[in-house]
Amino acid sequence: VEKAIKAGVVATREKNGRTEILLVSTKNNGWGVPKGNLMPELGKKKTALEEAYEEAGALGKIVDGRKATIEHPDWTLDLYPMKISKLLKKWPEMDWREREWVPLKKIEKWLTYPALVECVEELAD
Protein backbone atom coordinates (compact mmCIF):
# COMPACT_ATOMS: atom_id res chain seq x y z
CA VAL A 1 0.00 0.00 0.00
CA GLU A 2 1.36 3.38 -0.94
CA LYS A 3 1.59 5.98 1.78
CA ALA A 4 -0.77 8.91 1.43
CA ILE A 5 0.88 12.22 0.67
CA LYS A 6 -0.51 15.22 2.52
CA ALA A 7 0.31 18.92 2.41
CA GLY A 8 -0.49 21.73 4.80
CA VAL A 9 0.47 25.15 6.10
CA VAL A 10 1.86 26.71 9.23
CA ALA A 11 0.23 30.14 9.01
CA THR A 12 1.57 32.83 11.32
CA ARG A 13 0.94 36.42 12.27
CA GLU A 14 2.60 38.84 14.66
CA LYS A 15 0.31 40.28 17.31
CA ASN A 16 1.51 42.59 20.09
CA GLY A 17 5.06 41.44 19.51
CA ARG A 18 4.31 37.73 19.71
CA THR A 19 3.91 35.07 17.06
CA GLU A 20 0.52 33.40 16.68
CA ILE A 21 -0.36 30.27 14.70
CA LEU A 22 -3.65 29.66 12.89
CA LEU A 23 -5.19 26.35 13.99
CA VAL A 24 -8.37 24.60 12.88
CA SER A 25 -10.53 22.15 14.79
CA THR A 26 -10.32 18.49 13.77
CA LYS A 27 -12.95 15.76 13.54
CA ASN A 28 -11.85 14.17 16.81
CA ASN A 29 -12.29 17.33 18.89
CA GLY A 30 -8.64 18.26 18.65
CA TRP A 31 -6.79 21.03 16.87
CA GLY A 32 -4.39 20.98 13.97
CA VAL A 33 -2.98 23.00 11.11
CA PRO A 34 -4.84 23.21 7.80
CA LYS A 35 -3.81 20.20 5.73
CA GLY A 36 -5.19 17.61 3.36
CA ASN A 37 -4.41 14.91 0.84
CA LEU A 38 -2.28 15.91 -2.13
CA MET A 39 -4.24 16.99 -5.19
CA PRO A 40 -1.82 15.80 -7.90
CA GLU A 41 -3.05 18.35 -10.43
CA LEU A 42 -2.15 21.17 -8.00
CA GLY A 43 1.12 19.95 -6.50
CA LYS A 44 2.05 20.17 -2.83
CA LYS A 45 2.29 23.92 -2.27
CA LYS A 46 -0.95 24.73 -4.07
CA THR A 47 -2.68 21.85 -2.27
CA ALA A 48 -1.50 23.35 1.03
CA LEU A 49 -2.90 26.77 0.09
CA GLU A 50 -6.17 25.21 -1.07
CA GLU A 51 -6.54 23.45 2.30
CA ALA A 52 -5.85 26.72 4.13
CA TYR A 53 -8.72 28.26 2.18
CA GLU A 54 -11.15 25.33 2.57
CA GLU A 55 -10.47 24.61 6.25
CA ALA A 56 -9.72 28.09 7.61
CA GLY A 57 -10.80 30.68 5.02
CA ALA A 58 -7.20 31.84 4.81
CA LEU A 59 -5.80 33.38 1.64
CA GLY A 60 -2.13 34.11 1.13
CA LYS A 61 1.09 32.60 -0.10
CA ILE A 62 3.86 30.21 0.83
CA VAL A 63 6.61 32.56 1.95
CA ASP A 64 9.98 30.91 1.64
CA GLY A 65 11.72 27.79 0.44
CA ARG A 66 11.44 25.97 3.74
CA LYS A 67 9.30 22.98 4.54
CA ALA A 68 8.98 20.55 7.42
CA THR A 69 8.06 16.90 6.94
CA ILE A 70 6.36 14.40 9.23
CA GLU A 71 6.74 10.72 8.37
CA HIS A 72 3.91 8.55 9.70
CA PRO A 73 3.48 4.83 8.90
CA ASP A 74 0.37 5.65 6.83
CA TRP A 75 1.23 9.06 5.39
CA THR A 76 3.83 11.72 4.75
CA LEU A 77 2.92 15.33 5.55
CA ASP A 78 4.80 18.30 4.09
CA LEU A 79 4.16 21.60 5.85
CA TYR A 80 4.98 25.02 4.41
CA PRO A 81 5.19 28.44 6.09
CA MET A 82 2.31 30.68 4.97
CA LYS A 83 1.75 34.41 5.19
CA ILE A 84 -1.94 35.24 5.24
CA SER A 85 -3.12 38.21 3.24
CA LYS A 86 -6.81 37.80 4.06
CA LEU A 87 -9.02 35.80 6.42
CA LEU A 88 -12.48 35.36 4.91
CA LYS A 89 -15.58 35.70 7.07
CA LYS A 90 -17.12 32.75 5.22
CA TRP A 91 -15.26 29.66 4.07
CA PRO A 92 -16.17 26.21 2.70
CA GLU A 93 -15.82 24.18 5.94
CA MET A 94 -16.97 26.85 8.41
CA ASP A 95 -20.05 24.87 9.41
CA TRP A 96 -17.99 22.07 10.92
CA ARG A 97 -14.60 23.66 11.59
CA GLU A 98 -13.55 26.42 13.93
CA ARG A 99 -10.37 28.43 13.58
CA GLU A 100 -8.28 29.94 16.33
CA TRP A 101 -5.13 32.06 16.59
CA VAL A 102 -2.90 30.50 19.25
CA PRO A 103 0.30 32.02 20.66
CA LEU A 104 3.32 29.98 19.61
CA LYS A 105 4.36 29.73 23.28
CA LYS A 106 1.14 27.84 24.08
CA ILE A 107 1.10 25.61 21.02
CA GLU A 108 1.98 22.44 22.95
CA LYS A 109 -1.27 22.72 24.91
CA TRP A 110 -3.26 22.76 21.66
CA LEU A 111 -1.47 20.19 19.52
CA THR A 112 -1.25 16.64 20.85
CA TYR A 113 1.15 15.29 18.22
CA PRO A 114 4.76 16.06 19.27
CA ALA A 115 6.13 15.89 15.71
CA LEU A 116 3.60 18.51 14.65
CA VAL A 117 4.58 20.79 17.54
CA GLU A 118 8.20 20.49 16.40
CA CYS A 119 7.36 21.37 12.79
CA VAL A 120 5.22 24.34 13.81
CA GLU A 121 7.96 25.70 16.05
CA GLU A 122 10.53 25.21 13.29
CA LEU A 123 8.51 26.95 10.57
CA ALA A 124 7.12 29.72 12.77
CA ASP A 125 10.62 30.78 13.72
> Each residue of 68-93: pLDDT tens digit?
999 999 999 999 999 999 999 999 99
Is the distance from CB of 67 to CB of 37 less than 8 angstroms?
no
Q: Taking 80 as the threshold, does the pLDDT of residue 1 lie above it?
A: no
pTM: 0.93
Report how far residue 38's alpha carbon sits from residue 61's, in angstroms, rounded to the nearest whole number.
17
Provide the β-strand partners of residue 117: none
Run of H or E including 75: strand 75-87
- CATH number of the domain at 4-124, please? 3.90.79.10
Domain boundaries, the chain: 4-124
Q: What is the pLDDT averaged over residues 95-113?
A: 95
